[in-house]
Amino acid sequence: MRGPRLNIRTVREPKWFSVALILLCCVPALLAIAAMSSDIIAHTRYFGSNPVKEGEHFLGEWTLRFIIASLTVTPLRQITGWNWLAKHRRTLGLFAFGYLMMHWITYALLDVQLDWGELVKDLMKRPYIIIGMVALVFMTALALTSTRNSIRRLGGKRWNRLHKLIYLVAILGVIHFWMGVKKDISDPLMYGICVAALLAWRLVRWWSRREVSAVTIPVGAQ
Amino acid sequence: MSAREKSNIPSSEITPESLYCDRRAFIATAGAMGVGAIAALSGMPGLAGAQQGAQQGAPQATGKPFGLQPNDKPTPWEDVTTYNNFYEFGTGKGDPAEQAKNFKTKPWTVRVDGLVNKPADYQLEDFLKPSGIEDRIYRHRCVEAWSMVIPWRGIMLADVIKRAEPTSKATFVEFTTLMDPKQMPGERENVLRWPYTEGLRLDEAQHPLALLAVGVYGRTLPNQNGAPLRLVLPWKYGFKSIKSIVRIRLTDAAPKTAWQQAAPSEYGFYSNVNPTVDHPRWSQATERRIGEFFKRKTLMFNGYAEQVGAMYAGMDLRKNY
């Protein structure tokens, strides 16, 4: 176990990684924009017969994927020891926010077509829309405080506590998806399992660290 | 306008299907753009359709229009045959076209029984023979707030019921889809209670608009559209129009329907199209016509209020959704 682990630790960040990651993160968005505009304007069927709905769901799912990706950074870093991964958490988180905005714009502008009465009714009456909007408000707060300046201003501890909101956003996102599907819950279930596993990892680590410190304190006191 | 009356829409208003875009061409373009892999990964359904009925010649949007609005045009064959809700073949819109390819519809037996004087098992050909086959263009409204205009080919359900001679006790009709998990992969999943069942009041079933379809666009019904025999009820949400029917049973009690059992607060027995009664999770006031960007207002009984409204006179449609 030890040998290979040490080897992995020596892996440095490739020079091209930041740029490649950003380019890769843009691909689904560009595809969605290209497919939706082509389908709406030129009546192609890249997104099938109902491009607005399909594009809306596509962007929503990619939001969840980016949230999950950002939550995967820390466990991955802990397992592999590639500490340079940490700084890409913000990139993934900001892309999650970007996809969420595109998902929301598709819903409000292309799907509901800025029918304000309908938007307000959705927001008042439909629990899964309310849950989605709460997640959107939280995500906006996280995106706005994602700068180095904000960390300095808030202080590392408070900033960390605030950004734990991403756990709640991930859970709300899965619930929003779950409540939105008509009957077949297999897709939201898959995302739910991913989020649950990533949160469980943190819970187990937090729990075991507490146990360790509870044992070590009396030893140190002797 | 009654169902028997002539519509005022000239057939010149109906766009020939050949003018709509060519599916092969767009698949080729998609390949050229190299989006195939990512599209498959992220579930773009448009690229996973089926090529069916090519041997039958070009689809023809012929038929007598029923209840069409002035701006209603038949939805392209490509959409009608690739954008389907048919959970027996998967829950994705493109799944049925993909997964129903090898579905066997010959031979096909339909049982007509229950409270009738003449119960019988029919081979499909014998079942259809006594009735006149008609081409009719209907509006179609899905409960998911999208809609189409579809040229169906079929026989009147009323004919079938008349032939079976319902007894005086018969007040409802129950329909059942084929139960065959080997052929219908969806029936192996615990999504709905299988086999799919639907129900109508006897007077609804006897309404001249109620059609048992065997074809679409002048062709034999493609498997993904409910081959070989499906119901078409243009004034009700699409899921009432049960597909791949094997049994029609007359009863004296309201049959339990598949969606009613799955989510009773969301799907009622009647499920008449009604813009004033929302689905608990979305509005039914507007709809997206497949192929159009701007939304349309949903019409009461999907535009068939004149023909069917009397059957529901005095009923609280908020309760009887």
pLDDT of residue A41: 96
- Cis ω on the peptide bond leading into residue B195 (within 30° of 0)? yes
- What is the nearest CA distance from B98 to chain A, expressed in angstroms? 13
Tokens at residue A168, please? Answer: 């709640």
Tokens at residue A132, please? Answer: 């989605």
Assess A128–B contact: CB distance below 8 Å, yes or no.
yes
pLDDT digits (tens, 9 = 90+) for B109-161: 999 999 999 999 999 999 999 999 999 999 999 999 999 999 999 999 999 99
Q: How confident is the model at residue B34 (pLDDT cuts 50, 70, 90)?
A: very low
- Cis ω on the peptide bond leading into residue B107 (within 30° of 0)? yes
User: What percent of chain B has pLDDT above 70?
Assistant: 83
Q: How confident is the model at residue A12 (pLDDT cuts 50, 70, 90)?
A: confident
pLDDT digits (tens, 9 = 90+) for B86-109: 999 999 999 999 999 999 999 999
B205 vs B161: CA distance, rounded Å: 8
Mean pLDDT in chain B? 88
pLDDT of residue A5: 52
By residue count, chain A amounts to 222
Assess B253–A contact: CB distance below 8 Å, yes or no.
no
Q: How confident is the model at residue A9 (pLDDT cuts 50, 70, 90)?
A: low
Assess B292–A contact: CB distance below 8 Å, yes or no.
no
Q: Are B45 and A62 within 8 A, CB to CB?
A: no
Tokens at residue A208, please? Answer: 């075991």
Tokens at residue B212, please? Answer: 């048992």
Eight-class DSSP state of B166? B
pLDDT of residue B50: 41
**B:59-118 residues touching chain A, CB 8 A cutoff:** 78-79, 82-83, 87, 91, 93-94
pLDDT digits (tens, 9 = 90+) for A129-163: 999 999 999 999 999 999 999 999 999 999 999 99
Assess B282–A contact: CB distance below 8 Å, yes or no.
yes
Query: Does B47 have pLDDT greater than 50?
Result: no
pLDDT digits (tens, 9 = 90+) for B185-219: 999 999 999 999 999 999 999 999 999 999 999 99
| A contacts of B291 (beta carbons < 8 Å) | 43, 49
Question: Model-level pTM greater than 0.90?
Answer: no
Q: Are A118 and B283 within 8 A, CB to CB?
A: yes
Q: Is the complex ipTM higher than 0.90?
A: no
What φ, ψ does residue B224 adopt, rounded to 5°? -70, -15
| A contacts of B144 (beta carbons < 8 Å) | 182
Residues B146, B286: contact at Cβ < 8 Å? no
Query: Does B10 have pLDDT greater than 80?
Result: no
Assess B19–A contact: CB distance below 8 Å, yes or no.
no
Which of B46, B263, B295 is facing A48, going by the closest CB pair? B46
pLDDT digits (tens, 9 = 90+) for B157-191: 999 999 999 999 999 999 999 999 999 999 999 99
Q: How confident is the model at residue B56 (pLDDT cuts 50, 70, 90)?
A: confident
Residues B236, B261: contact at Cβ < 8 Å? no
Q: How confident is the model at residue A212 (pLDDT cuts 50, 70, 90)?
A: confident
Q: How confident is the model at residue A211 (pLDDT cuts 50, 70, 90)?
A: confident
pLDDT digits (tens, 9 = 90+) for B260-305: 999 999 999 999 999 999 999 999 999 999 999 999 999 999 999 9
pLDDT of residue B16: 45
Tokens at residue B40, please? Answer: 């498959």
Which of A47, A53, A62 is facing B46, going by the closest CB pair? A47
Say which range, A169-183, B43-57, B214-228, B260-274, has the weakest mean pLDDT: B43-57
- What is the nearest CA distance from B143 to chain A, expressed in angstroms? 10
What is the distance of C-alpha B106 from the center of its chain? 20
Q: How confident is the model at residue A210 (pLDDT cuts 50, 70, 90)?
A: confident
| Residue B48 buriedness (CB in 10 A; 0-12 / 13-18 / 19+) | middle
Assess A66–B contact: CB distance below 8 Å, yes or no.
no
Assess A126–B contact: CB distance below 8 Å, yes or no.
yes
| B contacts of A58 (beta carbons < 8 Å) | 42-44
Which of B45, B144, B191 is facing A48, going by the closest CB pair? B45
Crossing angle of helices A165-180 and A156-163, in 10° steps, is 10
